[in-house]
């Protein structure tokens, strides 16, 4: 089982992004998670390609990019050029999902699919062998600092069973309400990657918070 941590830049201090990215560089974090929101697919707007390019220029961690946008297939090349290492698209926003995943791979990135809280894991059965990652939203997407949805543990377990059934190598990533209070249980359920925003950046010692997430055990 992997135990990877990807701090979410959505919870960083936007007036001091360089400082916060450097903190992540110096931490035990594995990836840097970036939420790209368009105000259409989700009711919020975060940052776009110019900010991501600036972050990529100073980040020593691979960029784990989560597209919460309509028609994500239109921007695959642009996000590759901006520095994405992993590109996550929403199942709910991708009617031609297989084609989109193929394009992400053709552009040299790892490909992930994100599921909203109401979307069952069963919808991914046919495409799981092609995925590098599945991101389960454990809050409704669009805003940081929300309460963790408790049903997410069972959803992770169901996804893990499906991954094994389909002989997929996909990692399971969790985003939303993650903290030291649920990290161990998420790992135990089958999660490989934990995204944490508010828990990390609101901590008096963010690097220590990241370390705690990586070392949580049941």
Catalytic residues: 35, 175
In what helix (H) or strand (E) does residue 113 lie, and over which residues does it extend?
strand 110-115
Going from the C-alpha of 5 to that of each of 109, 124, 162, 215, the distances in angstroms are 19, 24, 23, 10
CA angle 133, 75, 23 (to 5 degrees): 60
d(CA 80, CA 57): 13
> What residues form DSSP beta bridges with 5?
194
Q: Which residues on neighbouring strands pair with residue 113, listed in sequence order?
A: 89, 134
> Which residues are paired to 67 by β-bridges?
36, 89
Contact residues for 206 (Cβ-Cβ < 8 A; gap 6+)? 7, 23, 27, 200
70-75 contact pairs (CB < 8 A, 24+): 70/38, 70/40, 70/41, 72/100, 73/99, 73/100, 73/103, 75/49
């Amino acid at each position: 089982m992997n135990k990877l941590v990807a701090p979410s830049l959505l919870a960083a201090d936007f007036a001091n992004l360089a400082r916060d990215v450097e903190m992540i560089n110096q931490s035990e974090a594995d990836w840097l998670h970036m939420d790209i929101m368009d105000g259409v697919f989700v009711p919020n707007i975060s940052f776009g390609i110019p900010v991501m390019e600036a972050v990529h220029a100073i980040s020593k961690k691979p960029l784990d990019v989560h597209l919460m946008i309509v028609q994500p297939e239109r921007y695959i090349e642009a996000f590759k050029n901006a520095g994405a290492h992993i590109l996550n698209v929403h199942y709910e926003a991708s009617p031609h999902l297989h084609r989109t995943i193929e394009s992400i791979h053709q552009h040299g990135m790892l490909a992930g699919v994100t599921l909203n809280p109401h979307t069952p894991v069963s919808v991914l059965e046919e495409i799981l062998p092609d995925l590098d990652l599945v991101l389960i939203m454990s809050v409704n997407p669009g805003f940081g600092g929300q309460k963790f949805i408790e049903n997410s543990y069972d959803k992770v377990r169901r996804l893990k069973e499906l991954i094994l059934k389909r002989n997929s190598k996909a990692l399971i990533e969790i985003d939303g309400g993650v903290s030291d209070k649920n990290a161990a249980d998420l790992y135990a359920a089958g999660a490989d990657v934990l995204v944490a925003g508010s828990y990390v950046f609101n901590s008096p010692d963010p690097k220590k918070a990241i370390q705690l997430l990586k070392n949580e055990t049941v």
